[in-house]
Amino acid sequence: MAFPTLRDFLQHLEKNDELRRVKVPVDPVLEIAAISDRVMKSPAPHGHAERDKHLGANLGGRALLFENTRNAQFPLAINAFGSYWRICQALGCDSLDALADKVSQLIKPEVPTSLMEKMKKGLDFLKLASVPPKSVRSGICQQVVLEGESADLRKLPILQCWPLDGNIESDQVFSRSDADAAKPTHTGTGRYITLAGIYTRNPDSSHRNVGMYRVQVHGPRLCAMHWHMHHDGAKHYRAWKAAGESKMPLAVVLGGESVLPYAATAPLPPNVSELLFAGFLNGSGIELVKCKTIDLEVPANAEIVIEGYVDLNQKLYEGPFGDHTGFYSLADFYPAFHVTAITHRRDAIYPATIVGQPPMEDYFIGKATERIFLPLLKMLVPDVIDYTLPMSGTFHNCAVLKIRKEYPQQARRLMHAIWGAGQMSLTKFVVVVDEHVDVHDEQQVLFQVFANVDPLRDVEIVKGPIDILDHASIEYGWGGKIGFDATKKWPGEGQVRAWPRELSFDDLTRTLVDKRWREYGIG
């Protein structure tokens, strides 16, 4: 079972020696981020990291609770999701693979053939249907209500993560050529809200969305709302504009049920509600309460809610921002968000994160997606046995996939399938290996690439959409992609010489050595 509030989750982490309290005064401007970056790149608590076979490096450190944040009224929690063990605890599961199996039961396309199979499939869907969000009259998120001038973002310990965040006078270039056409009239601080659910809806209320987008502070009640053009928040923004409206309600939600931050980042199919998925992960529906100043509902168990509206006719300069790519993403114009109220629980804790060159907290959230959505990827691309998004690839840069090869050019077919599969379409490097290779062992994968790839025969280069944060692409949002066929080559795949067998001991010898290992006295 997941946890009903952020405070409950943090208390659980502390009981399991997964959290450290920092009691001395610490500055939200750079100091907290520098401390957190060092902790995130340190070893995870002993014994927990080995519980997941997909771990790789035993990194992540502990969660941190800064109890004394300078010039702010709230303590700050960070790195709460920054290890495999902690992300599993937040999602209420023993392992990400077990949760993936649970998800797979909902999306299996097979038609049930027997009465028992029909009953089981019906129960699976009944579980999903029984966990929609539910409206309640009140919640702890509104124990304190601040409206008007008392709703001041400066009371929150909002982080500046990297030295050049928000510094448009730096040597950063603008993200698009048209950004030079109009110089900014209102520039923001280097402070960003980084771990909030952004709640929006369509003008007709037919669809609501929860995304996780960064929010740059421009003033006590003014922010720049950053979202990519293909995000649902941006889709809602365009819908409100098309409807001829001038304002779009929006809420920035911090904390709540421990499943909410992950659900906000999950690459769900179109029109599948993040709140329904959160209820599925939570084991019960997420309780929602109506906002005080806008027409939206938000999680009743949240720590802090920032209510307001997006001005559909105003844009602010946003960026640069130290991003998950390990580089500063470039400055550009984004919609203006005006704060109308801040509500919070009496003893609220402000959750935050920092992104940058991995390993970071978001790496483990991304790995949860990799595992949990493997069944969905298999349904879209049945050739895939397993895959990994390696740490060095920062999510969109690289994917390694393994297949059970059955015909020539199958690896190339897989590459193009991946380049047409939802958010996977942004993948810049695709590597395909045979079924005996452990895709989570980077040295094994590199061995296969360096040994099995002939650059003239086994490389596929194409053009297409690229993550807009990719500074190396030749144009904004599109560029080149490359695939490496590191499988054993078959006749029909070009000029193929006699293929040798890889070195390995026979099963009988391996079993003998396993059985006698202690007897050898080696250790």
Strand partners, 299: 288
Q: What is the DSSP string of 253-273?
A: EE--STTHHHHHH--PPTT--
**DSSP-derived 3-state class of residue 276:** helix
Between CA 473 and CA 442 the distance in angstroms is 25
Q: Residue 184, preceding bond cis, omega within 30 degrees? A: no
Report the alpha-carbon distance of residue 312 to residue 244 in Å, rounded.
9
Q: Using CA atoms, how far apart are residues 75 and 65, in angstroms rounded to an integer?
A: 7
Entry field: residues in the chain: 523
Evaluated on CA atoms 252, 258, 259, 262, the torsion sign reads: positive
Q: How many Cα neighbours within 13 Å face the side chain of 134?
A: 7
The catalytic site residues sit at: 323
Contact (CB, 8 A) for 254 and 5: no
Q: How many CB atoms lie within 10 A of CB 419?
A: 19
List strands edge to edge, sheet with 287-290: 134-135, 287-290, 297-299
Instruction: Output DSSP code: residue 129.
Output: H
Percent of residues in the chain assigned helix, strand, coil, to nearest 5: 30, 25, 45
At 150, give phi and psi (nearest 5°).
-75, -15
Residue given tokens 């969660």 in the structure block: 63
- What is the radius of gyration, based on Cα positions, of the chain? 24
d(CA 370, CA 377): 9
Peptide bond just before 43 cis, omega within 30 deg: no
| SS3 assignment, position 384 | strand
The structure tokens listed for 73 are 């009224």
Q: Are 412 and 382 in contact (CB under 8 A)?
A: no
- Taking CA atoms, 281 is separated from 114, 128, 268, in Å, by 28, 10, 13
